[in-house]
Amino acid sequence: MAQHFLVLTYPAQGHVNPALHLSRRLARTTSARVTFSTSIYGHRLMFPASAADEIVEDGLISYLPFSDGYDDGFDSNIHCPSEACDRFRSASSASLAALLRRLDELGRPVTCIIYNMFFGWADDVARGHGVRSAVYWIQSAAAFAIYYHYFHGYEDLIKTHSHDPLFEVNLPSLPPLKIRDLPSFFGITSDEDPYSVVLKLFEQLFQVLDREEADSAATVLVNTFGELETETLAVSAGKVKLIPVGPMVPPSLLEAAKDEPEFDALGDLFRPDEKKYMEWLDAKPERSVVYVSFGSLAAFKKRQTEEFVRWLRESERASLWVVRKDHEQAQGELEAALREAGAEGMVVEWCAQGRVLSHPAVGCFVTHCGWNSTLESLVCGVPTVGVPQWTDQGTNARLMEIWGAGVRAESDAEGVVTAEELRRCVEIAMGGGGAAGMRRSAEMWKHKAREAVAEGGSSDRNLRAFVAAASQ
Ligand code: UDP
C-alpha cells in the first residue's frame, strides 16, 4: 500500500515551521504522500483565503486542519488554563478520528501519524484506527532527555531547587546543567498559571512513550542531527528510539534545495514587513550587522527595552531588529533611539529570518534561543548572543556555549540584560578581542549540519530508514 504520513502540529510558529519542513522533506526524498494538519486556527492563519474543510495542495503535500476546541485560538484571558488540557484532548481526538475517516473515504488512507510532542492523545487515536504513529520532538535531544529524566526520578530534586537558578543538576548523558539551563516550566507551582498545561502535555506524552516502550520501542523523530548531540542521542532515554532527522530549516538555506525559496514563507503565521530590509542588508559590509529577534512568542519587559535603547545610543554597530506588532511601544522606542543616535539600524515587524541569517552582512544574532532560531544560526554559521526567556531557551543558550557557537548574556536581578552586558557579548560574538574561535565553531557546525541533511548524510539516511521501516 502507498505510504501516507499525516503530520500533526500545534499552531505556533516554532511548531509549524519544523513540521512543514519535515513534511515537505518526507515527500521530496521518499515520494510518500504527506498531509500536513494543524488546528483550524493555525490553518486559517496559513491559508486565509481557504475554507477550513477544503484540502489545500502546494504541488508536493496537502493541508487539511483538525479542530482542537479553540478554533479562534486559545486565549488565557478568556479560557480557563486548568480546563484546557481536557478540552484540547477530547476535541482534538474526535476531530482527528473524523479526519482519518474522511481521508479513508477520499481514497487516501493514512498509514502513519507523526504527531507533535504536545499531542500524546494522538497515539490512542492512531491505535483506534489501526495505523502506526511516531512522535515528532521539535526541540533538542538534550531537552528531550531533561524532560525524560524529570518524569523518571528527578522531579523532586529539580522542584526542590527550582528557586535557585545556579543549583547544578547532573542528569544521565547530559553535561552538568544549572536550574536556569532547564526548561522553565519546571518552576511553575500553580495550576492557574497559563502555562501549567504545557507540563501536563509533556507528562501525557511521556506516559504514552512508557506504554509504547512496554510494547516495543517507541519512535521519536528529533529535530537535531547525530553529529551535534551524539552522546545524548545514544543513551538519553531508556528504550525510546530517538531518530535525529534535522536540522529542519527553510530549504533555501540548504545547498541541496536552493531552488525552493518560494516555500520559505509558506508556514508564516505573521505578515512579513514590507520594509526593504534585504536591500538595506545588501548595502552593508560583510559581517557588520547585528540581527536581533526574539521569535514569535517572547515579550520583553519595559526595562529591557530601555536597556536595548541605551545600547543602541552607545553602539556603533548597525543592527536589524524584529519587534512584533504586539510590541508597538518597543518598536517606537527603538526607532526613536535609532533616529536620535543617528545609528544605522532598522526595525521590522517580521522578516524572512532564514534569508536574513544567510545574508553575508549579518555578523551575529542576538536571540531568545528558540530551537528553530538556534538551528537556523548553526546552519548559517552565525554566532549567537543568547538572551533566553522561557521554555527550552535556557537549555539552548547553554548548548550553544558548549558547542562554542554562542555566548549567553547574563541578566541582572530583574532578569534584564543591561546595555553593558549586551555590548560585551555582541563584541565577543562579532569576533572582537581575539574571539574569532566562535566564528570558527559556527562555521564548523554549518558544514556538519548541511552534511547531515544532504543526500547520504546521517539525518537523510535516518529519515529514509524510518520511512522504510514504517512500510513493513
Ligand atoms: N521567524 C521568522 N521571522 C521573524 C522571526 C522569526 O521567520 O521575523 C521564524 C524563525 O526563523 C523560526 C521561527 O520563526 O523558524 C521561530 O521559532 P523559534 O523556535 O526560534 O522561536 P519561537 O517563536 O517558537 O519562540
User: Cβ distance 339 to 451 under 8 Å?
Assistant: no
Kindly indicate the confidence band of residue 341, based on its pLDDT and cuts at 50, 70 and 90.
confident
Is residue 431 in some structural domain?
Answer: yes
Is residue 258 in some structural domain?
Answer: no
Q: Are residues 422 and 283 in the same domain?
A: yes
Q: Are residues 414 and 283 in the same domain?
A: yes
Is residue 260 in some structural domain?
Answer: no
Alpha helices (H) along 216-249: 230-235
pLDDT digits (tens, 9 = 90+) for 243-253: 999 999 988 88
Q: Are residues 216 and 290 in the same domain?
A: no
Q: Are residues 434 and 466 in the same domain?
A: no
Maximal C-alpha separation, the chain? 65
pLDDT of 265: 67
Q: Are residues 322 and 410 in the same domain?
A: yes
Which residue from 74, 50, 49, 76 is spatially nearest to 64, judged by alpha carbons? Answer: 50
CA of 374 to the centre of ligand 1 (A): 10
User: Cβ distance 458 to 466 under 8 Å?
Assistant: no
Q: Which residue has the higher pLDDT, 308 or 326?
A: 308
Instruction: Determine whether 157 is exposed, middle or buried from the number of CB atoms within 10 Å of its CB (0-12, 13-18, 19+).
Output: middle
CA of 425 to the centre of ligand 1 (A): 22
SS3 389: coil
**Is the CB of 13 within 6 Å of ligand 1?**
yes
User: Cβ distance 260 to 354 under 8 Å?
Assistant: no
- Tell me which residues are annotated as active site: 15
Q: Which residue has the higher pLDDT, 300 or 336?
A: 336
Q: Are residues 195 and 308 in the same domain?
A: no
Q: Which residues are registered as beta bridge partners of 407?
A: 385
pLDDT of 255: 67
Is residue 267 in some structural domain?
Answer: no
User: Cβ distance 248 to 21 under 8 Å?
Assistant: yes
Average pLDDT value for residue range 44-69: 92
Domain assignment of residue 60, given as a range: 4-252+455-470
Residue partners of 49: CB distance under 8 A and separation at least 6: none
Q: Are residues 94 and 206 in the same domain?
A: yes
Average pLDDT value for residue range 391-414: 96
pLDDT digits (tens, 9 = 90+) for 197-230: 899 999 999 999 988 766 677 899 999 999 999 9
pLDDT digits (tens, 9 = 90+) for 57-84: 999 999 999 999 999 888 877 777 777 7
Q: Are residues 312 and 385 in the same domain?
A: yes
Q: Are residues 445 and 466 in the same domain?
A: no
Average pLDDT over the chain reads: 91
Average pLDDT value for residue range 321-348: 86
Q: CA–CA separation, 342 vs 230, rounded Å?
A: 47
> How many domains are there within the chain?
2
CATH number, position 92: 3.40.50.2000
Q: Are residues 132 and 173 in the same domain?
A: yes
CA of 156 to the centre of ligand 1 (A): 33
SS3 173: coil
258 pLDDT exceeds 80? no
Residue partners of 101: CB distance under 8 A and separation at least 6: none
Q: Are residues 168 and 279 in the same domain?
A: no
Tell which atom from ligand 1 comes closest to the C-alpha of 367. Answer: 20
313 pLDDT exceeds 60? yes
Q: Are residues 235 and 288 in the same domain?
A: no
